[in-house]
Structure 1
Amino acid sequence: MPLPTDPATVLAVVGQGRILLGELKPKVDSELTRMLAQAKTEVPEAELHYVKLRMTRSLLAQTIQTRMLREAFLLDQVGTQAADKRREAEATMAAKARQMFFETELPGLKKKAGVDSTAELDELLRKEGSSLALRQREFMDQMLGHLYIRGKVNKDPSISLAEIVLYYQEHRSDYEHKARARWEQLTVMFSNHPTREAAMKAVSEMGREALYGGSMQAVAKAKSEEPFASSGGLHDWTNQGSLASTILDQQIFSLPTGKMSEIIEDTDAFHIIRVLEREDAGVSPVGELQDKISKILRQQKVLEAQQSVMVEVRQRVPVWSYYPDDFPGAKPLTQVSARPAMQR
């Protein structure tokens, strides 16, 4: 695929506006320079061309969508009024956006860059493949697009109980859970002691200390020999059948909760455990999941509404692109490149 080099090349026409290669190229070049510096190896020219092409096309698609929303917002403001009315509305919006940019965005950019003056910030942005004017333009486009979406999409749609129950029934398997438990554990590894008798003596002493001292976790931190010792031998919720030790798994899911076990002999260690909590396998009831499901359904409705808005925008705002396959509904730019209006 070809990649133009002239910054004045029109890569897309969105409604009544254009996107030039010069708007995207500095960002692409800056990102590519950063990537090459990290790679620290020479990249073949063909591969370099491919990466630059992919980055340019991706950034172009993002910019087209932002500009489409901007165009749609302006269409809502002026409708089919004359061109001078559109220019007047656009100038008004630009003035408001410029004011908001300097009041809300610029201070944060200066702070992040560690500079005090606007000139210093502009210089740093240019080194990064941007500029103050470009950031201001992007801010305006994003602001108008955000206003358009906000006016079309209800960010807090209502969710009925019937919808929640239906979703729960359709996704019931997602809310099935195995038996699980949390427990405390003291461990003595055979490999850390000269004999099994010595290991038995060590675990017995830890058990007595925990029983009469009342804190297995304190003993575990000081003396236990398993990976969780530093956290007091505390094992958080674990599903039945997921442990490497079959013996421990059986004991954890059969012993009474809240009581210290006898010494459990495993293949490579002695253990003492205390099951803190245990839950049987089953399905979480819909009442416990109501808020979670409601949030999922709300997000789905918002996403569907946004997608519907984008379909509407694509119908209202025509797009011609140098890479039409990258954007739904875009026409090849050659269809309009020969028109007199496009040769100004």
Structure 2
Amino acid sequence: MDAAKAVPLPSDPATVMAVVGQGRILLGELSPKVDSRISQVLAQTNEKVPDDQLHFVRLKMTRGLLAQTIQTRMLREAFLLDQVGTAAADKRREAEATMSAKARQMFYETELPSLKKKAGVDSNGELDDMLRKEGSSLALRQREFMDQMLGHLYIRGKVNKDPSVPLAEIVEYYQTHRSDYEHKARARWEQLTVMFSNHPDRQAAMKVISDMGREALYGGSMQAVAKAKSEEPFASSGGLHNWTNQGSLASTVLDQKIFTLPTGKMSEIIEDKDAFHIIRVLEREDAGVSPVGELQDDISEVLRQKKILADQENVMKEVRSRVPVWSLYPEDFPGAKPLMQVSARPALQR
């Protein structure tokens, strides 16, 4: 915060915060959103915040929003460059106008109805009023939609969203990360429980668990008995305990029994320090490593996402090499050059 006090934050909305290709980002595009968010937080907390802390928060939020806006505008500029290349300025303006018109049409056909519905309003004027209270406006939302759409089109045209993942790569990843797929012995089981604390004495508790066991044995459904009478947290789920690793239970007695009793058969009554139990182990697996065949789809998706991310990073490197950026805070954006603080207002005639 002490360092932030020395960092200036312009106050003139016409201040140019960044130049991205042939476009500019003004403070007036950022500050309404920042101020609106700060006002909301202050209203919620109802606290008086010192000016130096407010400066710190406003500066941090402005710089973060500026970096996001720079990236969006860079992708937009890159898309335009792909369309017009080194064409003359009038050709660029013509292409930009054509694409902006298409984007504007899409905004009014798709985005605007959604915004109205979310806001619960019928007219554009009402929506604009609500957006302005949030530090935005209908015109600004339209501009953002257009920039994002053109950027999305650029990314979609450059990044392969469904890269192939050969089996050899899956096997190599599996072997490299084999330790991630090791698992302890695990089991799933059904359980009936009678807590000592719920009964006058152990003899009374023993009678209840014995009756429950006989009912489950001759009625054929431990889960039905558990739902009706068991006294453990999983009773509402029929006493069914899904896959659980060995050694993870609080009751060491139960843990030992679950991993030694034959599967598919009801146990005798088991006693630990808090309760009587009857269990039936449904399935059990020894400790080991999950085979690659079971993990193939999951590993394939991990590698697919890695390839998409790497593709996106390469696209952004290319964009940074094609679209020059000057920023008031160049350290916040890779490759940005320092920008002297200037205003977009025309100079006064003397």
**TM-score interval (norm. to shorter):** over 0.9
Q: 1:59 aligns with which of 65, 72, 79?
A: 65
Deviation at 1:16, TM superposition (A): 0.6
1:30 is matched with 36
| 1:100 paired residue among 106, 131, 136 | 106
Q: Distance in 2 between matches of 1:63 and 1:343?
A: 27
Match for residue 13 of structure 1?
A: 19
State the distance in 1 between where 2:310 and 2:271 align: 57
The one-letter amino acid paired with 1:249 is D
Structure-1-length-normalised TM-score: 0.96
* CA distance in structure 2 between the aligned counterparts of 1:249 and 1:208, rounded to whole angstroms: 23
Aligned counterpart for 1:175 among listed residues 160, 175, 181 = 181
Instruction: Quote the residue 1:250 is aligned against.
Output: 256
Counterpart position of 2:265: 259
Q: Matches of 1:40 and 1:279 in 2, distance apart?
A: 56
38, 62, 78: which is aligned to 2:84?
78
In structure 1, how many angstroms separate the alpha carbons of the residues matched to 2:148 and 2:228?
Answer: 57
Alignment coverage as a number of residue pairs: 341
Q: Which runs of 5+ in 2 are unaligned?
A: 1-6
Residue 50 of structure 1 is matched in structure 2 by: 56
Secondary structure of the 1:63 match is helix
Task: Return the alpha-carbon distance in structure 2 between the equivalents of residues 208 and 7 of structure 1.
Answer: 80
Partner of 1:272: 278
Give the superposition deviation at 1:343: 7.6
- Counterpart residue identity of residue 177, structure 1: H
AA of the residue aligned to 1:293 = I
Query: SS in structure 2 opposite 1:76?
Result: helix
Counterpart secondary structure, 1:270: strand
Q: How far apart are the structure 1 equivalents of 2:224 and 2:52?
A: 62
Q: Distance in 2 between matches of 1:122 and 1:106?
A: 11
After TM superposition, give the deviation of residue 40 of structure 1 in Å: 2.7
> Deviation string for 1:73-112 (max 9, x for gaps)?
1111111111111111110111000001111111111111
Residue 17 of structure 1, CA deviation = 0.4
Aligned partner of residue 147 in structure 1, secondary structure = helix
Residue type of the alignment partner of 1:149: I
User: CA contact under 8 A between 1:320 and 1:333: conserved in structure 2?
Assistant: yes
Give 1:126's aligned amino acid. R
Which of 109, 121, 124 pairs up with 2:127? Answer: 121
Deviations 1:190-246 (A, max 9, x none): 122121111111110111111111221221122111122222211111100001111
Q: Is the Cα contact below 8 Å between 2:187 and 2:281 reproduced in 1?
A: yes
Residue equivalent to 1:200: 206
| Shift in alpha-carbon separation, 1:304–1:158, aligned structure 2, 3 A | same
Normalising by the residue count of structure 2, what TM-score does the alignment of the two structures yield?
0.94
Cα RMSD over matched residues? 1.6
Aligned-pair identity (%): 82
CA–CA separation in structure 2 for the residues paired with 1:283 and 1:150: 38
SS at match of 1:42: coil
Classify 1:256/1:250 alpha carbon distance in 2 versus 1 (closer, same or farther; 3 Å). Answer: same
Q: Quick one: distance in 1 between partners of 2:314 and 2:347?
A: 34
Matched AA of 2:225:
V
Gaps of 5+ in 1: none
